[in-house]
Structure formats: structure tokens, C-alpha cells
Amino acid sequence: MKIAVLGAGYVGLVSGACFADFGHEVVCIDKDPERVAMLMGGRVPIFEPGLDDMVARNQRDGRLSFTLDAAPAIAEADVVFIAVGTPSRRGDGRADLTYVFSAAQDIARAATGFTVVVTKSTVPVGTGDAVQRIIRDTRPEADVAVVSNPEFLREGAAIEDFKRPDRIVIGLEDERAREPMSEVYRPLFVNQAPVMFTGRRTAELIKYAANAFLATKITFINEMADLCEAVGGNVQEVARGIGLDNRIGGKFLHAGPGFGGSCFPKDTRALVETARESGAPTRLVEAVVAVNDQRKKRMAEKVVRACGGSVAGKTIAILGLTFKPNTDDMRESPALDVVHELQQAGATVRAHDPEGMEQAAKLMTGVLFCDSPYHCAEGADAVVLVTEWDTYRALDLDRLKTIVNVPVLVDLRNVYRRPEVERHGFTYADVGRGA
Ligand code: UGA
């Protein structure tokens, strides 16, 4: 099968590489010359475990290529995926569809024969209809079927998620697209991945509903963590106690500094906007957005309290900057708020992250980036674990104690156990595990 993927960003690259790995012939198209040159030279511009190898292997075997030139690749393709960015629009939080619509025009101009056009980018309900309209308006004779095929992969586990998905959702209005779409995903049928065919609007909504539900789960357990702190309970045990109920499930119940990343914050805001506009406001999701935004800012207060009420003139060591481990992605990372609030309160911030410091340096000022967690902790009045990278899971606390100025550990991911940390002479603060 010949596949073209518009947009060699996160979703586009992972999908393109995985489709090629299935044996399809894939061309990834991007407008950014630097990115395309890098990819043609065999370098992958994002950090995702396993992706460089997969890209290199498929490139070498001639199944995966990269180009700036959209038209010939679209003309050749049986199926064209739209995997361009849909950033939050400044001001109103709605998804910015400029790139999706411009991709639709490119496809209209270049498609030859019957072509299935698939939106993989996360787009608000009704975008498939708009894409179809744009293609028809741009070139009425273009013969296309527009499909929605949302992506559910997680950064850091993207290849695994792509190859062993919980489900594949395919939303279509034109039956002619069913066969080619089954063909695209046939290699996954051996794993018995459930494929769900549904309407296009429903598929678009499934993506937002899934992310909003997961974000709600996280926010719920974060509020339970606050309650545990207030009344003296242990949120990890509450999570386990409710998660063992199959109707609830134990996943996405880790309390922490609030959700970040390129998906949950953007998608929950976009869902809220769509719902408001449609006259069916989602008050629950509105609350999730507000509670999470506030939580990220409030995490700094925990540090201030652990430092005895003020961080003015103090040095704080931040371990972990990315929104979660195994990524270099800093988008909407809780660390951004924590660092900003601490600096506002007069602290000097040092920081370490295994992969994210380059991206972080673009978004933070006045932070001293360090080359190891121990270097980071030098002279610190508190060490704050913000992202649960594996390398922070077994810190040598004795060594750490000789390096810091005051032995205070604020563990925003509940990685450590209180008795162990206190035995090494640290004051310890965590999230929702009582005193
Ligand atoms: C999320 C979804 O998990 C994917 O299914 C979806 O495809 C993707 O968004 C997307 O829409 O593209 P991702 O943003 O990569 O994936 O990361 P997650 O692992 O879901 O984590 C999101 C945030 O929630 C992180 O900040 C993480 O630390 C936080 N989180 C997650 C918690 O605080 N507690 C948890 O129990 C789980």
C-alpha cells in the first residue's frame, strides 16, 4: 500500500515509521526544510525510545522516505494521512486548524484517482466535514473519502502503543474507505487489535472524550491527594483501593503535580470550547482544566512550606523538567510553573533533566542547568523531584546530604518512602501521603 503522511512531527513520524515497518511504502512530507534534511540524513529530531532505529531500518530498506515536495507523494498515494500540528489558538484555547486546512488544499490539488484522506491530528468534531468541503471547493473533481482515525499513543511509549493498540478507531462516512483502511491496519489484526468502525464525528469525539476522561481521572486523584493531606490518609492506597474495582481500573491514578504535555491540556481546553459553542457545556471538564492549572502553580507552595515558609534568597534544585519521563517535551510541563513561582518568590533555581534541558532553556530564564542530579543539588536548600525519571529513583541519599545546604526533599511524584528518606536525615514532603 502506498501511504503519504503530511507532517513529520511527533504523530506523523511515529505513524509513518510504524506503517513502513508493517511493510507499506511510506513518504513523510514536511514543510520545514531543516527537519526534512535532518531526517533524510538519518537523524530523528525528536526523542522517542526506539524511533531512530525504526526510521533508519525502514529508510535503508527503501520503505520510508522524506520529502518537502508534497504533490508527487500525494499523487502516488492510496491513502494520505494528515498529521500536522493543531496548536491551541492564543486567547481562546480552540484548536488552530490552519495547518489541517492547508494540508486539505494540498491534497485536493495533487490527488489522482480515488484517494482516502485520513485525519490523524487531534481535531474538533466536524473537522472531517470541513476537510471534505475544502477539498471539494478547491478541486471539485478530486475523488476522495475523508476519514477520521485518531491516535492514542503516549510519548515515551509511542511505538509500543502504535503496534499494540487497545483499539483502532476509524470514523467514515464513505463506505469506499473501509477496505483501504482495513488494509492499512491489517498487520495488526494478528495481535487481534479491536478495530472499531464508526461515524466520522463520533471518531473525532472519541479522541477528545478519551483524553478528557483520563485527565479527569488524574485530577480526581490529585484532589483526593489534597484531601488525604488534610485528613491524614494515603492517596496511593486510596488509588489502589479504588483501582482494584474493575469498573474504575488502577491506571492514571498517580497523584502528582498535575498533568502537562502536548495533549491533555490542549485537548481538554478544546473540548470545553467545542462544548460551549455547541450549547452543551461540559462543566466537569471545565473544572478539570481549572483545577489542574491551579494545581501546577500551587506545587511551588509545597516547596515554600517545606523550606519553612519562605524561599527568598534560597537555592532550589529541580530534578526533572519534562512533563513526564522518556521524552524531551516541555510543553505545559508542571516544572515550568514550579520554577516560575519559585523564582517569583525569590529563589535561585538550579535544574537537571536527562533529555529536556535544551528545550527547557528556551522556555526558562535565570535557571542554572546542571549535568547531573548531584551537581544540581550543590548548595540547595531543597531538592524537588518534579519528573519521575528512572535515574532519580535510586539517588544516593547519603551522598546527596553531603552536597546540599539543607537536607529537604520534596517529592512531587511519590517516588520515595518517608521512613527511608528521613532515616538519611532529610525532611520529606510528598503528595497526599499524610504526615
Ligand atoms: C496522552 C494519552 O495518554 C495518549 O493516549 C494520547 O494519545 C496522547 O495523550 C495524545 O492525545 O496524543 P501523553 O500526553 O504522551 O499521552 O502522556 P501521558 O502518559 O498520558 O501523561 C500525560 C500527563 O499526565 C503527564 O504530565 C503525566 O505525568 C500525567 N499523569 C499521568 C499523572 O499525573 N498521573 C497519572 O496517573 C498519569
pLDDT single digits (tens) 266-275: 999 999 999 9
Cα 115 from Cα 145, distance rounded (Å): 7
Question: 359 and 392 share a domain?
Answer: yes
Residues 331-351 have a mean pLDDT of 98
Arithmetic mean of pLDDT over the chain = 96
pLDDT for 191 equals: 75
pLDDT in tens, 381-428: 999 999 999 999 999 999 999 999 999 999 999 999 999 999 999 999
Question: 133 and 222 share a domain?
Answer: no
Cell 494478528 belongs to 190
DSSP string, 219-246: HHHHHHHHHHHHHT--HHHHHHHHHTST
Confidence of residue 193 (pLDDT cuts 50, 70, 90): confident
Q: Taking Cα atoms as reference points, which of 136, 152, 158, 148 lies closest to residue 47?
A: 158
State how far the alpha carbon of 327 is from the alpha carbons of 13, 79, 87, in Å.
15, 29, 19
Percentage of residues of the chain with pLDDT beyond 90: 92
Question: 282 and 392 share a domain?
Answer: no
Q: Name the domain count of the chain.
A: 3
Question: 119 and 180 share a domain?
Answer: yes
pLDDT for 357 equals: 97
Residue 203 lies in a domain: no
Cα(332) to ligand 1 centroid in Å equals: 12
Cα 166 from Cα 163, distance rounded (Å): 10
Collect all residues with Cβ–Cβ distance below 8 Å to 21 and sequence separation of at least 6. Answer: 54, 57, 58, 63, 163
Identify whether the C-beta of residue 249 lies closer than 8 Å to the C-beta of residue 243.
yes
Cα 198 from Cα 49, distance rounded (Å): 32
The set of catalytic residues is 263
Q: Taking Cα atoms as reference points, which of 192, 197, 193 lies closest to residue 178?
A: 197
pLDDT for 435 equals: 61
pLDDT for 190 equals: 77
Identify whether the C-beta of residue 350 lies closer than 8 Å to the C-beta of residue 367.
yes
Cα 368 from Cα 391, distance rounded (Å): 20
Collect all residues with Cβ–Cβ distance below 8 Å to 334 and sequence separation of at least 6. Answer: 256, 257, 258, 260, 296, 299, 323, 386, 412
Confidence of residue 122 (pLDDT cuts 50, 70, 90): confident
Question: 355 and 262 share a domain?
Answer: no
Identify whether the C-beta of residue 27 lies closer than 8 Å to the C-beta of residue 67.
yes
Residue whose CB lies within 8 A of the most ligand 1 atoms, among 154, 208, 240, 251, for a mutation test:
154
State how far the alpha carbon of 365 is from the alpha carbons of 243, 336, 340, in Å.
40, 10, 9
Residue 435 lies in a domain: no
pLDDT for 340 equals: 98
How many residues make up the chain in this entry? Answer: 435
User: Which of 198, 232, 266 is where one domain is finished?
Assistant: 198
Question: 229 and 361 share a domain?
Answer: no
Residue 271 lies in a domain: yes
Residues 341-360 have a mean pLDDT of 97
User: Which of 247, 266, 289 is where one domain is finished?
Assistant: 289
Cell of 42: 538519518
Which residues sit with their C-beta closer than 6 Å to ligand 1? 122, 151-155, 211, 214, 218, 252-254, 256, 259-261, 263-264, 267, 323-324
Cβ of 56: how many Cβ atoms within 10 Å?
A: 15
Residue 158 lies in a domain: yes
| Position 229 pLDDT exceeds 80 | yes
Question: 348 and 413 share a domain?
Answer: yes
Question: 40 and 140 share a domain?
Answer: yes
For the CA of 156, the closest atom of ligand 1 is: 15
Residues 271-300 have a mean pLDDT of 96
Residue whose CB lies within 8 A of the most ligand 1 atoms, among 86, 208, 217, 218, for a mutation test:
218
User: Which of 170, 198, 226 is where one domain is finished?
Assistant: 198
| Position 192 pLDDT exceeds 90 | no
- Residue ID of nearest Cα to ligand 1 atom 29: 259
Crossing angle of helices 283-306 and 334-344, in 10° steps, is 50
Question: 192 and 238 share a domain?
Answer: no
Cell of 262: 502536548
Residue 422 lies in a domain: yes
Question: 302 and 424 share a domain?
Answer: yes
Residue 264 lies in a domain: yes
Could you tell me the residue range of the domain that residue 356 belongs to?
296-429
Residues 365-380 have a mean pLDDT of 98
Confidence of residue 65 (pLDDT cuts 50, 70, 90): very high
Question: 119 and 163 share a domain?
Answer: yes
Crossing angle of helices 51-60 and 10-21, in 10° steps, is 50
For the CA of 215, the closest atom of ligand 1 is: 24
Residues 83-89 have a mean pLDDT of 86
Question: 12 and 128 share a domain?
Answer: yes
Buried b / exposed e across 7-39, counting CB within 10 Å, b at 16+? Answer: bbbbbbbbbbbbbbbbebbbbbbbbeeebbebb
Identify whether the C-beta of residue 82 lies closer than 8 Å to the C-beta of residue 99.
no
